Amino acid sequence: MAPRQKSKYLMTFEDSADRLPLQWIHGFPLSNLLWDPQVFDLADIVRHIVPNLRGHGVSEATAPPYSMAMFADDCIAVLDDLGIEEPIMIGGLSMGGYVAFEICRRHPERIGGMILAATRAGADTDETKQRRDEATKLVRDQGVEAIADAMLPKLMAPQTYAKDPDLVHFVREMMLETSVDGVVGALAAMRDRHDSVGDLPLFDLPTLVIHGDEDQLIPLAEAERMARELPDAKLAVIPGAGHLPNLEQPELFDDAVREFLEGLYAE
């Protein structure tokens, strides 16, 4: 893996080698460290490009508000910096999936396929929007640590949270790298994001939908709906995983991704 680089768009990213480009987009409030198992285990079949969204990880923060359009354009700017013009695969987890949908709307010519993990197509309900605003107040009053402690038990399957303290610590430390501006900006971007349900039939791309069967934040039914309504989608359900299936069950997650990509190569 090449050392971290910085683009003129205030983002840090890592880039691997000359294979099929796959850009992984992390969730909230995480960083590109989320994808460490995939970068290691799938290095033989894809070129991993793993940005830190602005305000997350070691990317610089700009003053809020942020938007999904901003995140989407930032991700495309990284590809431009690397001189990648051909369509790529894009993978997004949770908020990263929202960014992936926005990229498909704004830059459809840049995307050749998607991996959608632990995400949903629908916009926030009024109740969820209210919770985003409450979280914004919490982080402004008490800092990122308060958000991390509130979210952590919900991010993983209950048995993972109880029995894997090393993973819990790793995820918590990753969350604490996110700046206050990054958290506030991302909360607003998620709250105000476009409803992608009506767009699903238009995203005629090979797509792998991956979801943990114990996800406490997004019901499995949301993934099943996306897999039904996307024109060319496969669904992989990861047993014993919550909202972070790629970290909780990395071998099962990576096997599903590898099978999906090898199927595309065969075609």
Beta strands in 34-110 (DSSP E): 46-51, 88-93
In this structure, what are the phi and psi dihedrals at residue 236, rounded to the nearest 5 degrees? -120, 120
Q: Give this prediction's pTM.
A: 0.93
CB 29 within 8 A of CB 94: no
CB 205 within 8 A of CB 234: no
Cα atoms in the Cβ-side hemisphere of radius 13 Å centred on 173: 7
pLDDT at 16: 52
Peptide bond into 65 cis (omega under 30): yes
Cα–Cα distance, 259 to 14 (Å, whole number)? 24
pLDDT at 9: 43
Q: Enter the tokens of residue 266.
A: 């065969």
Cα–Cα distance, 146 to 113 (Å, whole number)? 36
Task: Choose among 101, 155, 151, 93: nearest CA to 119.
Answer: 93
Q: Enter the tokens of residue 220.
A: 């499995």
Q: Where are the domains of the chain?
A: 5-266
Residue 3: band (very low, low, confident or very high) from pLDDT cuts 50, 70, 90: very low
In whole angstroms, how far apart are CA 193 and each of 38, 98, 111? 27, 8, 20
Cα–Cα distance, 204 to 145 (Å, whole number)? 40
Overall average pLDDT of the 116-125 stretch: 98
Residue 267: band (very low, low, confident or very high) from pLDDT cuts 50, 70, 90: confident
Average pLDDT, the chain: 94
3-state secondary structure of 211: strand
10-43 pLDDT per residue, tens: 555 555 556 789 999 999 999 999 999 999 999 9
pLDDT at 14: 57
pLDDT at 18: 60
Q: Which CATH superfamily is domain 5-266 in?
A: Alpha/Beta hydrolase fold, catalytic domain (3.40.50.1820)
Sign, Cα dihedral of 135, 245, 179, 24: negative
